[in-house]
Amino acid sequence: MSNFEQKLTEMLRPAVEETGKELLGIEYISAGNHSVLRLYIDHKDGINVDDCADVSRQVSAILDVEDPISTEYNLEVSSPGVDRPLFEKAHYQAVVGETVDVKLGMPLNGRRKFKGILEAVEGDNLVVVVDGEDFELPIANVAKANLIAKF
């Protein structure tokens, strides 16, 4: 998560929690007039369209006042879905033993993409087993990570 996304998370988390939902994380995709600010929310009873609309209204009011994004963008509020995004250390710890897809910001041994079993979270590193080989990936270097759903 970028510093900007972290600041947005800190700004918007209280508003999301006020609706009774959990803010899992934020993605900001900068693309000029087609930029997207995406919030992932969750609740123990699941998320429906009305939940997303409620959070969107709540968050929009804060974004209008604080105006942290100077360009045009679309706000999207979403449930985590089947391929749940992972943002924080606690999210990784909750899915140890599952298959994850991790993309690094900076290459490790010439490689940025790792898809395998999340074997452990050790300190500030993820231990991901890819084709029988262990890789220690610094959480601080993770650009994007998702749980891979089992079917």
Write out pLDDT tens, residues 75-87: 999 999 889 999 9
Q: Which residues of 5-43 are buried (b: 16+ CB within 10 A; e: fewer)?
A: beebbeebeebbeebebebbbbbbeeeeeeeebbbbbbe
Cα gap 119→93, rounded to integer Å:
10
Instruction: Output the pLDDT for position 26.
Output: 95
Of residues 107, 48, 40, the one with CA closest to residue 77: 40
pLDDT in tens, 15-28: 999 999 999 999 99
Average pLDDT (98-106) is 97
The answer to whether position 35 is within a domain reads yes
Instruction: Output the pLDDT for position 149.
Output: 87
Are residues 64 and 15 located together in one domain of the fold? Answer: yes
Q: Which domain holds residue 131?
A: 89-147
The answer to whether position 84 is within a domain reads no
Portion of the chain with pLDDT greater than 90, in percent: 85
Instruction: Output the pLDDT for position 103.
Output: 97
* Length reported for the chain: 151
What is the count of structural domains for the chain? 2
Amino acid at 103: K
Q: Are 144 and 133 in contact (CB under 8 A)?
A: no
The answer to whether position 125 is within a domain reads yes
